[in-house]
Structure 1
Amino acid sequence: MTLPGYPAPEARYDTFTVESLQAVPPGAVFGAFADDTVRRRWFRMPGRHATYRHDFTVGGGEVASSVFPVPDAEPERLAYASTYLDITPDARIVFAYTSRVNDVPRWSSLVTVELHPEGDGTRLRWTEQAAFLTPSAEPAHDLPHLRGATRLRLNGLPAALAATAGEAPPGAPTA
């Protein structure tokens, strides 16, 4: 179904994977997804006036929104809604989500997060299958934007994990 007033775009789908090595065991990385306090340190909506509601259970999910300022234009209202489909403690999280901009669904994705022990740490593999529902003004930038935003979000994970463990974040000055 196409929204009234929007042309039916040609379907665009893509899959990407982002991997990172975390310096903590899989249980700690899993906790960064499950614990709301830790989650807010790295999984945040861009912009201002962000709101969150999170239920980390199968069938539960997260609803979040914010207002993103745009130079010389009206601010964008961003919204994110997810549903957890599978949660395997310390090993795997599968969820589906939809992102909206100004109440228009932009893309929906199926995400599989895998946590694999590697030495004393964890190899995190985030695989996302995205269906772009309504293209932006520059459709060629949609997938690179989504992939880059995912990498940026995951870049905040080590600092959130270090703060949880009471350590200084990586790269922080030491006394």
Structure 2
Amino acid sequence: MSQQIQSTFTISRLLAASPSRVFQAFSSFDEKKQWFSGPADWVQTEAALDFRPGGSETNIGGPDEAHQSEFYAHYYDIVPNERIVYTYEMHHEGKKLSVSLATFEFEPEGEGTRLTLTEHGVFFDGHEDPALREEGTRWLFDGLAAYVERVRA
């Protein structure tokens, strides 16, 4: 019998860039490729971004062909510089790990942006620990922060 675990986490981070700058890092295909990736040994084999309500995103890669991770997203709601809502599936080595609903909120705070992600995930058959997903997402936030603070619009 298959098993599932449901998990919700929230990450909030103050970034030293305007909401429009941070939003651009999500909405521009070229920019998102700069920070939304794996570790140093990661090779991206496929990527696409159709950033609009009803659009989708694909990001596939890994250290080698035998160890590929697959991210498939579908965008539901986008309010420029304010909110992004999408669902996504994660697969690894051909196994579906999870399906998640992710909501990003961009709020001005001082001269920066308070970026808040709330994610609710359903994790299947013990293929992934939800705590590892949160850890990986925090790592992506680190990359986003470094990118928007280093590369000004």
Q: For residues 61-95 of structure 1, what are the alpha-carbon distances to aligned partners after superposition, in whole Å with 9 as ceiling and x for unaligned? A: 211111335xxxx9322111000010000000000
- The structure, 1 or 2, with the larger RCO (C-alpha pairs under 8 Å, 6+ apart) is 2
Distance 2:16 2:120 in 1: 27
Following the alignment from structure 1 to structure 2, what is the Cα–Cα distance between the partners of residues 117 and 93? 15
Where structure 1 has 5 or more consecutive residues not aligned to the other structure, the ranges are: 1-6, 167-175
Q: Does 1:135 align with 2:126?
A: yes
**Residue of structure 1 in register with 2:32 after alignment:** 39
Map of 1:67 onto structure 2: 62
Contact 1:15/1:129, CA 8 A, preserved across alignment: yes
Question: Root-mean-square deviation (CA), in Å?
Answer: 1.7
Question: With structure 1 as the length reference, what TM-score do the two structures score?
Answer: 0.80
CA contact (8 A) 2:66 2:93 kept: no
8 Å contact kept, 1:105–1:134: no
1:131 maps to a residue whose letter is V
Identify the residue that residue 16 of structure 2 maps to in structure 1.
23
Cα distance, 1:145 vs structure 2: 0.6
1:71-110 map, 5 Å:
75-110=66-101
| Partner residue of 1:156 out of 143, 149, 152 | 143
CA distance in 2, matches of 1:49, 1:62: 14
Q: Which amino acid aligns with 2:6?
A: Y
Tell me, in whole angstroms, the C-alpha distance in 2 between the residues paired with 1:76 and 1:117. Answer: 39
Equivalenced residue count is 151
Q: Give the letter aligned to residue 70 of structure 2.
A: A
Q: Which stretches in structure 2 are left out of the alignment for 5+ residues?
A: none
How far is the alpha carbon of 1:45 from its aligned partner? Answer: 4.0
4+ runs deviating over 2 angstroms: 45-50
Which shows bigger deviation, 153-162 or 92-101?
153-162
> What is the CA-CA distance between 1:99 and the residue it aligns to?
0.3
Q: What is the rounded CA distance, in whole Å, between the counterparts of 2:92 and 2:63 in structure 1? A: 10
Q: Secondary structure at the match of 1:95?
A: strand
Q: Which has the higher strand share?
A: 2
Deviations along 1:133-155, one digit per CA (max 9) or x if unpaired, are 2312xx6xx11110000000010
TM-score in terms of structure 2 length = 0.91
1:55 corresponds to 2:55: no
